[in-house]
Amino acid sequence: MNVVLEALIILGITSPLFLVGKKQPNWEKQFLLVFIVYFLVDYSLVYFASTWELLSSMELKMNWLGKIISYLIALVFLAVYRKLPLKEYGLTLKQNEDSQKVAIGAILGSILLGVLFAHFFQRHQSGAENILFQLTMPSIVEEITYRGILLGLLNQVFVKSWRIGKLTFGMGVFITSILFGLWHGLSLNADFALSINWIACIYTGLLGLILALVKERTGSLLIPIVMHIIINLLPNVLGYIY
């Protein structure tokens, strides 16, 4: 029950942005409703899966089951909810025109960010399980969920009224970034006491913002996924180098 309330609190924190964001003419409320339901279902089931013992015999340390369930939720959603083409969720390998330099710069920037984080905060000599997990699970499915499905739904609600050069984006970029940050840093314990890890919130929120902007500029989740893998992986392997 706490985790559902936790998800509702996160949505409540972002709710003012839903009110002030400039909306599309004749926007359909179904997209906002689907967004809310999808977030609540994914958030809750990923957490609950971490408490299940289906894979306990394998003695795994990472939340494999939670991420696998998140993948399944995305697959079921994309198969059943056919209101939008896959490209609207960034599920395409085709990049927008004139976005090659942005893609290269974003990848180089993610390498620099991963190295700086590892150098100044923490770096590990992670085992094979953690390395494989970072390569295949959160770095991919979190992009599909946050920068893909959730942002794609909000793009049907909000006008892309902000512009940076050739990049245009709407309020959905900010909402999904704040959700991403709070998902990593906000928690509600068994006594309903709320706590926030501000460093985790700010770091992952800003990272979510960058990833969302890159997705909007390139029109694809490919580069954000590569960036996410690099940023997650480097702190886990640089401990072997220095």
pTM, two decimals, is 0.95
* pLDDT at position 212: 98
Residue-level pLDDT, tens digit, the chain, 242 residues: 688 999 999 999 999 999 999 999 999 999 999 999 999 999 999 988 877 776 666 778 888 999 999 999 999 999 999 999 999 999 999 999 899 999 999 999 999 999 998 888 888 888 999 999 999 999 999 999 999 999 999 999 999 999 999 999 999 999 999 999 999 999 988 788 899 999 999 999 999 999 999 999 999 999 999 999 999 999 999 888 87
* pLDDT at position 123: 87
* pLDDT at position 159: 97
* pLDDT at position 104: 96
Report the distance separating Cα 143 and Cα 145, nearest Å. 5
The amino acid at 102: V
Report the distance separating Cα 18 and Cα 3, nearest Å. 22
* pLDDT at position 41: 97
Measured from the Cβ of residue 56, the count of other Cβ atoms closer than 10 Å reads: 9
Asked if 35 contacts 153 with a C-beta cutoff of 8 angstroms, the reply is yes
Report the distance separating Cα 118 and Cα 110, nearest Å. 12
Enter the tokens of residue 75. Answer: 């697959």
* pLDDT at position 93: 95
